[in-house]
C-alpha cells in the first residue's frame, strides 16, 4: 500500500496518491494490469494471515477517514477487500484514453475500455495475486505485447516469472523487485535461458520444496545450499518438473529421488540414499544435534505433500483461469483446535512418548567402564558408534 502521507479520507487517497501513481506508470507503457489478492475463508493463506495478528475493522468509503495506522488496518481481510474494490472502481472510472487498464475486482476484471474481451481473465478463482499476475501476463503476450514487467516484493513471483518465461518464448518478462533504494530489475527470461528449459520450468516446485510461506524449510539449509545441491544432483529435476505440471504423478519412485536429494542437503558425501539410514549414520558418526540431521521419512512425506500442494496444485496452475485444487487435508494439513489449518508433521509418535531415554556412546572399540551406556547400566544400541556390537551387550 502506498503511504497515505498528509491524507485524511479514502477519496483523497485515491485522488492524490493512488491515481497519480498509476498515471505515472502509464507514461511509458501501452497496458497496465492491477492485480489484487482475494481473501477466501478456510484457506491456507487465511491461517498465515491470522499468525500476523488481527487489525481493527474500518469501513472503506470515499468520505471516511483513512486510519492513521495503515499496518493495523491492512491486517484485516475485510478492510482490504473493501479497499481493493474501491480503488479498482476509482481506476476505471477516472483513468481512460488510448491505454489499456485492467484491474481485478474479486473474481472479476474491470477494464478502462468498453467491449474489451476479458474471457481469458475472468471469472478467475485464484486466491493469490502472485499467480494471477502470471495469468494476466499470458493474456498480454497473446495480445502481442512482447515486453512485460511484473512489479513485486515477493520471491514467489520471481520463481513463477522464470517458470512462465519458458512458455512465452518470444516475450521478455522483467521483474521490478523490491522498493525504494532496494528496487532492482531482473530479467526473468534471461534467467530461464541460463537455467535451461526443464530447470526453469521446475523452479517453483524447487522453491516450494525447499521452503516458502506455506511450506517449512529444512533446518539450517538455505536456498543457496539447496540450489547448489540441485545443480550437482540433476536426477531431481525431472521429479520437480513432473510434480509441478502434474502433481498426481507423485509415487514411491519420486519419493526415493527426493529422499536422496535431502540426504545430500545434510551431508554432501553421505553414501546413504534414504533419510532414515542417513539420520542414523550422521547422528552416530558425526555427532550432529537432532536438528542438524535429515527428517524421518514419515516427516519428509508430509513435507512433500505440502510442497506438492503449493508448488503443483497452486503455482503449477498459475496459467489456468479456474484451477482445480484439492482440500489441504489430503496434503499434509489438518484442522486443529479451531485454529484453522495446521501442518500435520508426521504419523510417527513424538520421541518423548516413545523413548524415555536417548543415550549413545562414542566408543570406537569395545565399551570399557568409561562408556556412557555402561555407566548408566544401559545396553548399547545401533545409535552408538559401536553400533551395539560390543562387550557391553554381551555382558548384559
CA distance 36 to 80: 9
- Residue of 154, 137, 118, 152 whose CA lies nearest to 32: 137
Q: Cβ neighbours of residue 224 under 8 Å, at least 6 residues apart?
A: none
Give the mean model confidence (pLDDT) for residues 12-25.
96
Name the β-bridge partners of 108. Answer: 105
Nine-digit cell string for 22: 498509476
Provide the pLDDT for residue 352.
Answer: 46
Altogether, the residues listed in the chain come to a count of 396
Sorting pLDDT into bands at 50, 70 and 90, what band is 229? very high
What is the Cα 337 distance to its own chain's centre? 25
10 Å CB burial of residue 145 (0-12, 13-18, 19+) is middle
For residue 252, what are the CA distances in angstroms to 79, 207, 249, 256, 357?
45, 21, 10, 6, 33
Q: What is the pLDDT of residues 155-164, one digit of tens each?
A: 999 999 999 9
The predicted-structure confidence for 267-306, as pLDDT tens digits, reads as follows 999 999 999 999 989 988 887 888 899 999 999 999 999 9
* Sheet containing 100-105, strands listed edge to edge, beginning at the edge strand earlier in sequence: 31-34, 100-105, 108-111
C-alpha cell of residue 364? 570406537
At 316, phi and psi to the nearest 5? -65, -15
Closest alpha carbon to 143 in 176, 179, 118, 123: 118
The pTM of the full predicted model, rounded to 2 decimals, is 0.88
| Look-up of cell digits 491456507 | 44
Amino acid at each position: 500500500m502506498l503511504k497515505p502521507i498528509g491524507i485524511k479520507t479514502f477519496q483523497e487517497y485515491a485522488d492524490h496518491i493512488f491515481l497519480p501513481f498509476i498515471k505515472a506508470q502509464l507514461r511509458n507503457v501501452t497496458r497496465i494490469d492491477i492485480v489484487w489478492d482475494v481473501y477466501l475463508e478456510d484457506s491456507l493463506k487465511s491461517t498465515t494471515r491470522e499468525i500476523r495478528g488481527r487489525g481493527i475493522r474500518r469501513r472503506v468509503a470515499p468520505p471516511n477517514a483513512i486510519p492513521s495506522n495503515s499496518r493495523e488496518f491492512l491486517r484485516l481481510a475485510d478492510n482490504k477487500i473493501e479497499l481493493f474494490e474501491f480503488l479498482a472502481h476509482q481506476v476505471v472510472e477516472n483513468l481512460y484514453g488510448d491505454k489499456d487498464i485492467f484491474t481485478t475486482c474479486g473474481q472479476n476484471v474491470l477494464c478502462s475500455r468498453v467491449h474489451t474481451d476479458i474471457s481469458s481473465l475472468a471469472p478467475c478463482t485464484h486466491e493469490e495475486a502472485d499467480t494471477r499476475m502470471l495469468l494476466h501476463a499470458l493474456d498480454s503476450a497473446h495480445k502481442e505485447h512482447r515486453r512485460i514487467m511484473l512489479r513485486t516484493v515477493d520471491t514467489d513471483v520471481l520463481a513463477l516469472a522464470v517458470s512462465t518465461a519458458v512458455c512465452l518464448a518470444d516475450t521478455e518478462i522483467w521483474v521490478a523487485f523490491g522498493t525504494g533504494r532496494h528496487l532492482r530489475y531482473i530479467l526473468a527470461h534471461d534467467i530461464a535461458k541460463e537455467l535451461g528449459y526443464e530447470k526453469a520450468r521446475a523452479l517453483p516446485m524447487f522453491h516450494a520444496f525447499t521452503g516458502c510461506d506455506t511450506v517449512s524449510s529444512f533446518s539450517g539449509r538455505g536456498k543457496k545450499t539447496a540450489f547448489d545441491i540441485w545443480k550437482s544432483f540433476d536426477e531431481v529435476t525431472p521429479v520437480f518438473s513432473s510434480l509441478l505440471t502434474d502433481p498426481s504423478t507423485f509415487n514411491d519412485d519420486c519419493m526415493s529421488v527426493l529422499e536422496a536429494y535431502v540426504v545430500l542437503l545434510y551431508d554432501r558425501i553421505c553414501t546413504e540414499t534414504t533419510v532414515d539410514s542417513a539420520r542414523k549414520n550422521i547422528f552416530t558418526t558425526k555427532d550432529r544435534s537432532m536438528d542438524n540431521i535429515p527428517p524421518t521419512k514419515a516427516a519428509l512425506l508430509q513435507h512433500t505433500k505440502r510442497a506438492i500442494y503449493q508448488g503443483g496444485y497452486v503455482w503449477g496452475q498459475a496459467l489456468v483461469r479456474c484451477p482445480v485444487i484439492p482440500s489441504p487435508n489430503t496434503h499434509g494439513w489438518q484442522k486443529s483446535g479451531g485454529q484453522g489449518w495446521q501442518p500435520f508433521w508426521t504419523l510417527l509418535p513424538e520421541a518423548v512418548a516413545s523413548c524415555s531415554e536417548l543415550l549413545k556412546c562414542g566408543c570406537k572399540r569395545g565399551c570399557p567402564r568409561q562408556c556412557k551406556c555402561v555407566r548408566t547400566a544401559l545396553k548399547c544400541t545401533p545409535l552408538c558408534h559401536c553400533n551395539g556390537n560390543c562387550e557391553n551387550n554381551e555382558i548384559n
